[in-house]
Amino acid sequence: MKTTPFTSKHISLGAKMAEFAGFNMPISYKGINEEHAAVRKNAGVFDVSHMGEFILKGPDALELIQRLTSNDASKLTAGKAQYSCLPNEQGGIVDDLLVYCVEENKTYMLVVNAGNIEKDWNWISSRNNKGVEMHNISSKTALLAIQGPNANKIIQSLTEMDILNLKYYTFVKGKFAGIDNVLISATGYTGAGGVEIYFEDKDNDANEIWDAIFEAGKSYGIQPIGLGARDTLRLEMGFCLYGNDINDTTSPIEAGLGWITKFTKDFTSKAIFEKQKTEGITKKLVGFEMVERGIARHDYEMVDASGKNIGIVTSGTQSPSLGKAIGMGYVETSSTQIGTEIFIKIRNIAVAAKVVKVPFE
306-331: average pLDDT: 98
Residue count (the chain): 361
For β-strands 44-47 and 223-225, DSSP reports them as parallel
**Res 19: pLDDT:** 98
**Res 10: pLDDT:** 98
**Res 225: pLDDT:** 98
75-96: average pLDDT: 98
CA distances from 359 to 40, 114, 150, 179, 322 (A): 14, 25, 21, 37, 11
What is this structure's pTM? 0.97
**Res 280: pLDDT:** 97
**Res 296: pLDDT:** 98
**Res 254: pLDDT:** 98
- What confidence tens digit (pLDDT) does each residue in 19-64 have? 999 999 999 999 999 999 999 999 999 999 999 999 999 999 999 9
**Res 348: pLDDT:** 94
Backbone φ and ψ for 70, nearest 5 degrees, come out as: -85, -30
104-114: average pLDDT: 98
pLDDT-derived band at 343 (thresholds 50, 70, 90) equals very high
